[in-house]
């Protein structure tokens, strides 16, 4: 497997490529182009410039995150075809700069939700936290304001200011949409785009809903084993696959993550692994935590063991980390704790690999 880190370009990240290059075992970055409006084509010239910057730092750019799906596609509006055509053109441009995997999501209106971006733990570290009742009491505009104030000056993925004004109207729109209609809109997108993903040799890897349960009456679909199976069956091409995020899916304690990895990994449908841990206070209240198994509810050894059992050779990134040692950075994306997480996961991988050969 290839260990990579997420990196935000164009001066939007306090973490530098030089610092990422110094983390043992990290070979590349998963990056994005947050300044391109949702639904517009990602320009080839900008991608070529971005690739050169990353390659010149000694890193690879084989994974892209957050080519966001325009809301009209999710709504199934007549205008969706224009935005899908733009998506296909972006895939063509990504292929020309050597991108192999595209992580995206089909979450309606908002990509993710938290009630706190900088909850201080007893050890002084800070984490993003979710309190279900607090989130339910926030309308999207209030939540957007809260997140903006706590973002330390960074735009947050999925919560960019230009996307916020229409949130209330979008939520109202979805109150009259059935979940089955939403599945149909998703299938329409997949059936149109996947043939081009095959042509351009880019694997599409959908990210689960975060959190994986209903909010504000919105359709939530990538939430558990049954729904993931339904999603994969919408289009059975091997290019239609998953970003398997342990933090998102692990927020629901009913999800058996190692078994899900074994099932979907054996089929070659996991193209990208986001690995992080969460610590539950109640069934629907949790804090993000350090990656170490003892710090959260998820058994990272069993997660990595499952990936080893299915022979996973794709891309892995340590997902959201804590803020430690006084670091000031985009919430969840500081350097220090993610670097620790990367090497913890690589250490587990090495131990599991050597156990198989020495003690079989």
The per-residue pLDDT of the chain, averaged, comes to 93
Choice among 274, 280, 337, 344 that is catalytic: 274
CATH classification at residue 10? 3.20.20.150
Instruction: State the pLDDT at residue 16.
Output: 96
Q: Which of 323, 313, 321 is nearest to 342 (CA)?
A: 321
The fraction of the chain above a pLDDT of 70, given in percent, is: 92
Q: Greater confidence, 158 or 78?
A: 78
Q: What percent of the chain has pLDDT over 90?
A: 80
Q: Is 32 in the active site?
A: no
The contacts of residue 194 (CB under 8 Å, 6+ apart) are: 204, 235, 237, 239, 240
Could you tell me the pLDDT band of residue 166, with boundaries at 50, 70 and 90? confident
Q: Which two tokens stand for residue 94?
A: 């990504």
> In the predicted model, is pLDDT for residue 143 greater than 80?
no
Catalytic residue among 93, 207, 280, 291: 207
Nearest to 314, CA basis, from 103, 47, 157: 103
Write out the DSSP string of 131-162. EHHHHHHS-HHHHHHHHHHTSTTPPPTT--GG
From CA 113, how far away is CA 140, in angstroms rounded?
10
Cis check: omega of the bond before 114, within 30 degrees of 0: no
Q: Which of 320, 336, 337, 344 is catalytic?
A: 320
CB atoms within 10 A of CB 234: 16
Q: Is 207 annotated as catalytic?
A: yes
Burial of 96-110, coded b for 16+ CB within 10 Å and e otherwise, reads: ebebbbbbbbbbbbb
Structure tokens at 22: 């110094």
Question: What mean pLDDT do residues 162-177 have?
Answer: 80
Tens digits of residue pLDDT in 1-40: 999 999 999 888 899 999 999 999 999 999 999 889 999 9
pLDDT digits (tens, 9 = 90+) for 58-76: 999 999 999 999 999 999 9
Most confident of the following: 170-174, 237-241, 332-336: 237-241
Q: Name the catalytic one among 216, 333, 336, 344.
A: 333
Burial of 175 (0-12, 13-18, 19+ CB in 10 A): exposed
Q: What pLDDT shows up at residue 112?
A: 85
User: Among residues 182, 319, 337, 344, which one is catalytic?
Assistant: 319
Q: How far apart are CA 265 and CA 262, in angstroms?
A: 5
Structural domain span for residue 212 = 2-358
H helices present in 242-335, as ranges: 246-249, 257-266, 300-309
Predicted TM-score of the model (pTM): 0.94
Cα–Cα distance measured from residue 91 to residue 248, given in angstroms and rounded to the nearest whole number = 26
Candidate list 87, 245, 271, 344, residue with the active-site label: 245
Active-site annotation holds for 333? yes
Is residue 320 annotated as part of the catalytic site, yes or no? Answer: yes
Higher per-residue confidence, 316 vs 331: 316
Q: What is the pLDDT of residue 301?
A: 97
Is the pLDDT at 94 greater than 80, yes or no? yes
Residue 153 in tokens = 């000056």
Query: How many CB atoms sit inside 10 A of residue 135's CB?
Result: 17
Q: How many domains does one find in the chain?
A: 1
Q: Is 291 assigned a catalytic role?
A: no
Our answer to whether residue 196 is catalytic in this structure is: no
Q: Cα–chain-centroid distance for residue 129?
A: 17
Instruction: Please give the Cα distance from 43 to 45 (Å, whole number).
Output: 5
> What is the model's pLDDT at position 148?
65
């Amino acid at each position: 497997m290839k260990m990579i880190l997420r990196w935000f370009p164009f001066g939007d990240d306090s973490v530098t490529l030089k610092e990422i290059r110094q983390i043992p075992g990290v070979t590349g970055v998963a990056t994005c182009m947050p300044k391109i409006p949702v639904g517009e084509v990602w320009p080839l010239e900008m991608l070529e410039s971005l690739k050169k910057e990353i390659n010149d730092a000694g890193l690879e750019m084989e994974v892209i995150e957050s080519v966001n799906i325009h809301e009209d596609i999710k709504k199934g509006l007549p205008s969706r075809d224009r935005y899908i055509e733009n998506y296909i053109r972006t895939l063509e441009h990504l292929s020309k700069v050597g991108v192999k995997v595209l992580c995206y999501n089909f979450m309606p209106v908002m990509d993710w939700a938290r009630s706190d971006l900088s909850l201080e733990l007893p050890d002084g570290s800070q984490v993003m936290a979710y309190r279900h009742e607090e989130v339910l009491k926030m309308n999207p505009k209030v939540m957007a304001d809260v997140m903006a104030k706590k973002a330390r000056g960074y735009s947050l993925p999925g919560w960019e200011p230009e996307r916020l004004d229409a949130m209330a109207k979008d939520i109202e729109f979805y109150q009259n949409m059935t979940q089955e209609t939403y599945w149909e809109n998703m299938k329409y997108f997949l059936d149109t785009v996947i043939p081009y993903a095959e042509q351009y040799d880019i694997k599409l890897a959908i990210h689960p809903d975060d959190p994986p349960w209903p909010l504000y009456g919105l359709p939530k679909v990538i939430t558990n084993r049954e729904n993931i199976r339904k999603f994969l069956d919408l289009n059975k091409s091997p290019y239609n696959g998953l970003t398997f995020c342990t933090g998102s899916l692990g927020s629901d304690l009913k999800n058996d993550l190692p078994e899900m990895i074994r099932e979907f990994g054996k089929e070659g449908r996991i193209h990208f692994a986001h690995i992080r841990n969460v610590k539950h206070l109640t069934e629907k209240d949790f804090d993000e935590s350090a990656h170490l198994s003892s710090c959260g509810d998820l058994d990272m050894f069993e997660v990595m063991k499952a990936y080893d059992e299915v022979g996973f050779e794709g891309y892995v990134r340590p997902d959201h980390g804590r803020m430690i040692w006084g670091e000031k950075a985009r919430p969840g994306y500081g350097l220090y704790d993610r670097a620790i997480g990367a090497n913890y996961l690589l250490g587990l991988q090495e131990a599991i690999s050597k156990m198989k050969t020495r003690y079989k």
